[in-house]
């Protein structure tokens, strides 16, 4: 024994340092922890050596937290809480919509648009079949597309006020080129 100081078995040291017995033995072999006798350790020197070992393993530039670190962390938390409060207020004013609601509405709109587009060929084919001129067929198809768009634009989406979105209906501009969509 070394100088009459109390020594403890490896199992006690492992429990104290929150390590396995094998890890304590490994650190001892690496010279990180001092051993008093075979399988026995003095408490204070082992704890001090282990603290030094952990401190040396800190990343470069990494230091123990300071008062300024806590102040910065508190400021980040306060800013995050303020942002969250602003988002809640915007949601209550209906200026912010939950993403899930947007996904649901968008999915229903896409289904409706898809259905409307798929209904155009069987509806328009008989109308253009007997036409002799390409411009007449294009005009008839364009009229059918504009009718479909106008119908889609008039669709009310559950939970959305009519003044919250543009209708998207084509403007009635008689000067526009009829060959341009």
pTM higher than the cut 0.75 = no
Instruction: Average the pLDDT over 70-89 and give the result.
Output: 91
Summarize pLDDT for 141-167 with one digit per residue, the tens: 999 999 999 988 887 776 665 555 444
Q: What is the DSSP letter of 37?
A: B
- Return all residues near 119 (Cβ < 8 A) that are at least 6 apart: 148
DSSP single-letter state for residue 172: -
């Amino acid at each position: 024994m070394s100088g009459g100081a109390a020594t403890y078995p490896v199992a006690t040291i492992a429990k104290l340092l929150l390590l396995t017995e094998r890890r304590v033995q490994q650190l001892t072999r690496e010279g990180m922890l001092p051993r008093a006798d075979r399988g026995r350790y003095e408490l204070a020197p082992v704890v001090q050596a282990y603290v030094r070992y952990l401190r040396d393993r800190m990343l470069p530039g990494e230091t123990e937290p300071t008062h300024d670190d806590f102040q910065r962390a508190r400021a980040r938390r306060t800013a995050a809480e303020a942002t969250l409060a602003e988002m809640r207020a915007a949601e209550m004013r209906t200026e912010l919509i939950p993403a899930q609601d947007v996904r649901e509405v968008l999915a229903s709109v896409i289904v409706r648009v898809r259905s409307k587009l798929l209904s155009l060929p069987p509806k328009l084919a008989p109308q253009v079949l007997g036409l002799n001129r390409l411009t007449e067929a294009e005009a008839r198809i364009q009229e059918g597309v504009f009718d479909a768009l106008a119908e889609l634009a008039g669709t009310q989406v559950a939970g959305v006020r009519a003044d919250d979105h543009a209708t998207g209906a084509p403007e009635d501009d008689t000067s526009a080129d009829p060959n341009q969509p």
